[in-house]
Amino acid sequence: MALVNEHYLKLKAGYLFPEIGRRVRAFIEANPQAGVIRLGIGDVTRPLSPAIIKAFHEAVDELACEETFMGYGPEQGYEFLIDTIIEKSYNPLGVQLKSSEVFISDGSKCDTANILDIFALGNIVAIGDPVYPVYNDTNVMIGRTGDADEKGYYQGLVYMPCNEANGFTPNFPRRKVDIIYLCFPNNPTGAVATREQLTGWVDYALRADAIIFFDAAYEAFITDPAIPHSIYEIEGAKRCAIEFRSFSKTAGFTGVRCALTVVPEELVAQTISGESVHLNRLWNRRQATKFNGVSYPVQKAAAAVYSEEGWKQTREIIDFYMENARIIRDGLASAGLTVYGGVNAPYIWLKTPGGLTSWDFFDKLLNECHVVGTPGSGFGPSGEGFFRLSAFGNRENVIEAVERIRKSLM
Ligand SMILES: *Cc1c(COP(=O)(O)O)cnc(C)c1O
């Protein structure tokens, strides 16, 4: 009999979104005429911009013609896209990268999971709490942890609480760790790291010989010019950090699939016997063996995000979502709620009123306002007492949802 990877059995059954779905379905069955508004999901709603669609179509047409047909592309991504990203997205930040340091992929979810392939199991890993669940679960799946305790913390992982006291940016881990996941702007809390805070992390990682996995999926939503978009804006980061970026939220590619990972050439880790190994070489080998690249039309569409028209249209959509975020944030704050995020990120992280648990507030919002959000406790124990609303909805729904919540609270 074949044996299974039993680490998978340690995972708690996908609880959060199925449970939300169950409660919403039950409510709608009992109240079929209630217009339920969903501000729970972390998915975009605006269609792809015209400049992006045009490039996408043109690339598909190239595939229809013998002279311009393309088969397998480079596993690392086409140079035209890599060079465009470096020139349009990194150089303006003062960050210089080589083409060989950027790897195009079909998503940051897969990249943040797959990166674990090139690191030894014995590494001590630190993640935020609350957290994007992928970081936690992929470390469980690969066998780095024991079982979860009754709170949901897995034995062997180091959790860094993010709470009101630290402004939802974690303190340095209490014990020595080898790998640290940071996500700024943050999902779910909407928190950002200042230049000073990021400098602190880079200095910490260099001192501790640790590697930072920096998830910058929401960098395009930063509105404050003082907040860094890339960890490589910080001196020394190329010696301690891998950065993940995605076209998913930036340009509506959640269904199209395109992302990138930066592994600087100077970044090294060690063998047990103490030799230095370049992580760029290992990631390149990993991708070339296990991945066959992102489709040509998708990479053409992604490059079009940075054309003059493409970027203008992309910015308009980001601004649209951020205006939604402002409406939610201001509306709820004026109704007396304590709200975080929503300024440099498309998520509003609100404190549940009257000491309600996250799930009690979920039920209250669903029953009284017919609005669906996401209970903070679903992202980790420190999310208890908080609630996430997403700014990715359409404008009428956002305005109506805020109005209903205000009425029920005032
Ligand atoms: C949405 C999201 C991503 C992007 O994932 P893709 O696989 O590129 O769609 C990455 N990190 C976080 C924290 C996210 O919320």
Strands (DSSP E) contained in 111-199 are 125-129, 158-161, 179-183
Q: Which of 132, 181, 256 to mutate to test the pocket of ligand 1 (most atoms within 8 A of CB)?
A: 132
Enter the tokens of residue 32. 């079929």
173 lies in the same domain as 290: yes
| 3-class SS shares of the chain: helix, strand, coil, % to 5 | 45, 15, 40
199 lies in the same domain as 239: yes
Which amino acid, 351?
K
Structural domain count of the chain? 2
In which domain, by residue range, is 243 found?
53-307
Higher pLDDT, 347 or 41: 347
CA distance linking residue 372 with residue 361, whole number of Å: 10
Residue 212: the pLDDT is: 98
CA distance linking residue 241 with residue 262, whole number of Å: 9
Residue 17: the pLDDT is: 87
In a domain, 338, yes or no: yes
Enter the tokens of residue 192. 């950002």
Map tokens 């100077």 to a residue.
Answer: 266
| Closest atom of ligand 1 to CA, residue 259 | 8
Which residue among 272, 292, 307 closes a domain? 307
Question: Residue 198 Cα, ligand 1 centroid: separation in angstroms?
Answer: 20
264 lies in the same domain as 326: no
- Nearest CA owner, ligand 1 atom 2: 217
127 lies in the same domain as 267: yes
Q: Indicate the pTM of the whole model.
A: 0.97
Residue 144: band (very low, low, confident or very high) from pLDDT cuts 50, 70, 90: very high
Question: Residue 214 Cα, ligand 1 centroid: separation in angstroms?
Answer: 12
Question: Residue 195 Cα, ligand 1 centroid: separation in angstroms?
Answer: 23
CA distance linking residue 292 with residue 298, whole number of Å: 14
Residue 12: band (very low, low, confident or very high) from pLDDT cuts 50, 70, 90: confident
Which residues' Cβ are closer than 6 Å to ligand 1?
Answer: 42, 107-109, 132, 183, 187, 215, 217, 246, 248-249, 254, 259
292 lies in the same domain as 315: no
- For 330, other C-beta atoms within 10 Å of its C-beta total 13
- Nearest CA owner, ligand 1 atom 14: 217
299 lies in the same domain as 237: yes
206 lies in the same domain as 283: yes
Residues 36-43 have a mean pLDDT of 91
DSSP state at residue 79: H
CA angle 404, 387, 315 (to 5 degrees): 80
The CATH number of the domain where 26 resides is what?
3.90.1150.10
266 lies in the same domain as 195: yes
320 lies in the same domain as 260: no
Which residue among 307, 332, 354 closes a domain? 307
Enter the tokens of residue 117. 């392939």
43 lies in the same domain as 153: no
Residue 268: band (very low, low, confident or very high) from pLDDT cuts 50, 70, 90: very high
Which residue among 264, 281, 307 closes a domain? 307
Using the predicted structure, report yes or no on whether residue 16 has a pLDDT greater than 90: no
Question: Residue 268 Cα, ligand 1 centroid: separation in angstroms?
Answer: 25
79 lies in the same domain as 192: yes
pLDDT tens across 358-372, in order?
Answer: 999 999 999 999 999
In a domain, 2, yes or no: no
136 lies in the same domain as 254: yes
Question: Residue 247 Cα, ligand 1 centroid: separation in angstroms?
Answer: 9
Question: Residue 216 Cα, ligand 1 centroid: separation in angstroms?
Answer: 9
